[in-house]
Structure 1
Amino acid sequence: MAAPSKTSALPCDDFQKFQDTLRQLRLIDDRIIHALNDSLPTQSFRGKVDASSVCKRFYDELQIAYDQRKNAIQHCLEIASKEVDTLRQEKASNPDDFNTLKSLRKEQTKLRLMQQELSVEEVSKIEL
């Protein structure tokens, strides 16, 4: 089981793509039982495979996947937060601009949803 590559960054501008990419990055969690069954030796192969090194490698792959997802989500949160701040400044300078208000509300919603995804990431992380 391979961990997601570092090049798989979350698209921060489109929340639907953000969620779809995050779902793909979470496949390692969805397939954990299968991966463990494939990685750990059965009774008949115990002497031929070093179970502790297999477990260590599997643990390291999970940790890398968790760290990459968390860092990617935090990166998108920073971008969305900066965009909200920029739109707030625009709204403050022109309070009657409906398009700015609409964009601000959209970005605030996206920011809240991304914050929820970070919470989900912390809850769904398997404590090893």
Structure 2
Amino acid sequence: MVTEAASVDCFDMVDFQRHIDKYRRLEDKIIFKLNCELPTKSFKTHRDAFAICSEIESKLENIRKERSELFARCLTENKTVVQKYHNDDSKHLLVRQANANLRQIRNEQTVDDIVIAQTEKVLQDRCRKEAIL
């Protein structure tokens, strides 16, 4: 099965950014679903919180795996260009672009780490609260 991330051109940062943003929006939608499925105490209906939390965790895991694979593939492809052509003066523009891409991808990884930490906090807080009640 070919994922959509496999079709991303790692040298086109607009395309890369579009896919990363799409994955982050999917993660936001999943957290929104969690908030809808596990409402506050005043709106509480009898639902299986464990099943809901397990499903949400599974979906988040799949999205994160795809995003992680995209980061790894694009880092590898750009590193390969830098290593292959770093001594070739005729390819210096290509090397500069690949280095710029590497910086941007690493910056996006840092942002991604923050997004994941925030999402995990929400997930743990909501699911733990439901388990206690």
Short-chain TM bin: 0.7 to 0.9
Q: Look up the equivalent residue of 1:118 and give its one-letter code.
A: Q
Provide the C-alpha distance between the structure 1 equivalents of 2:52 and 2:28, rounded to a whole number of angstroms.
19
TM-score, normalised on structure 1?
A: 0.77
SS of match in other structure, 1:13 = coil
Say which structure is richer in helix.
2
Q: 1:14 aligns with which of 8, 12, 15?
A: 12
Displacement of 1:67 in angstroms is 1.9
In structure 2, the partner of 1:31 is 29
Structure 2 residue runs of 5 or longer lacking an equivalent are 125-133
In structure 2, the partner of 1:70 is 68
In structure 1, the partner of 2:98 is 107
In structure 2, the partner of 1:94 is none
| Structure with the larger RCO, 1 or 2 (CA within 8 Å, 6+ apart) | 2
Provide the C-alpha distance between the structure 1 equivalents of 2:51 and 2:30, rounded to a whole number of angstroms.
17
Displacement of 1:89 in angstroms is 3.4
Q: Look up the equivalent residue of 1:114 and give its one-letter code.
A: I
Structure 1 residue runs of 5 or longer lacking an equivalent are 92-96
Which digits, 9 at most, give the CA deviation of each residue in 1:9-32, with x for residues without a partner? 133121111001111111123334
Q: Look up the equivalent residue of 2:108 and give its one-letter code.
A: E
Ranges of 4+ aligned residues in structure 1 off by more than 6 Å: none
TM-score, normalised on structure 2?
A: 0.74
Question: How many correspondences in the alignment?
Answer: 114
